[in-house]
Amino acid sequence: MPLAIHLFDAASILHAFGPWVLVGLAVLVFVESGVLFPFLPGDSLILTATILASALGITPWQVAVVGSLAAIAGDQVGYLLGRRFGRRLFREDARVLKRARLREAEAFFVRYGGLSLVLGRFVPVVRTYVPLAAGAAAMHYRRFIVWNTIGGVGWVAVLTVVGVLLGGIPFVAHNIDALMVVVVVVSVLPVVIGVLRKRSAARRAVRR
């Protein structure tokens, strides 16, 4: 695998896996979903893999099945880590496992409950920490499994369907890099908006 592959260049990452593309896809989606590494482009990889399926020697159905299983398994690990270690894994000054990110996920979980495992799938960073927040909050395991399955399958299904539809457009197939930039920007918008709102609220509080 070339060392110069950019982390967020989904097409290059997938092509670099060669015949092991489905295994690579599964590993990256699994890690992003629950192993506390929120900077892998899971949604971009699934979308790109679907659009480029024929060129990669796979089918959209394979992407959907492998992606769903990896997403569900990843959240299971995140939940178990939350039940076992809770907040002890996080520090205020950490580069990755920041307590601020965990607090955001916990607030998201408190607000939406089990539905957060579905909605959170579509928000980068949040989808990594919500299952851990669910575990730390001692969410009933059977209830977690149900919502986790719905969230994992629903997330991958939506991305796969969108990928199939976009893959039928020649312009999209020939400008996949530009499309991925748009996907990343759109997916990160909720996080950016949340940060801006918090800063605005903090400034108003200081002025008072």
pLDDT in tens, 121-174: 887 777 888 888 888 878 888 989 999 999 999 999 999 998 888 877 766 656
Per-residue pLDDT band for 64 (boundaries 50, 70, 90) equals very high
Mean pLDDT of 63-76: 95
DSSP 151-175: HHHHHHHHHHHHHHHHHT-HHHHH-
Hey, what are 141's tokens? Answer: 């395991």
Q: What is the tens place of the pLDDT at every residue in 75-118?
A: 999 899 888 877 776 666 666 566 776 777 777 777 777 888 88
Residues of the domain holding 34: 10-198
**pLDDT at residue 204, as a whole number:** 62
Per-residue pLDDT band for 41 (boundaries 50, 70, 90) equals confident
CA dihedral 159, 161, 163, 169 (to 10 degrees): -150
- For residue 202, the surrounding DSSP H or E stretch is helix 176-207
Whether 205 is in a domain gets the answer: no
pLDDT at 67 over 90: yes
pLDDT at 3 over 50: no
In terms of C-beta density within 10 A (0-12 exposed, 13-18 middle, 19 or more buried), how is residue 6 classed?
A: exposed
CB atoms within 10 A of CB 36: 18
Task: Give the C-alpha separation, 181 to 179, whole Å.
Answer: 5
pLDDT at 50 over 60: yes
Whether 28 is in a domain gets the answer: yes
Helix axes 21-34, 126-136, angle to 10 degrees: 50
Q: What is the tens place of the pLDDT at every residue in 182-203?
A: 665 555 555 555 555 656 655 6
Whether 86 is in a domain gets the answer: yes
Number of structural domains (the chain) is 1
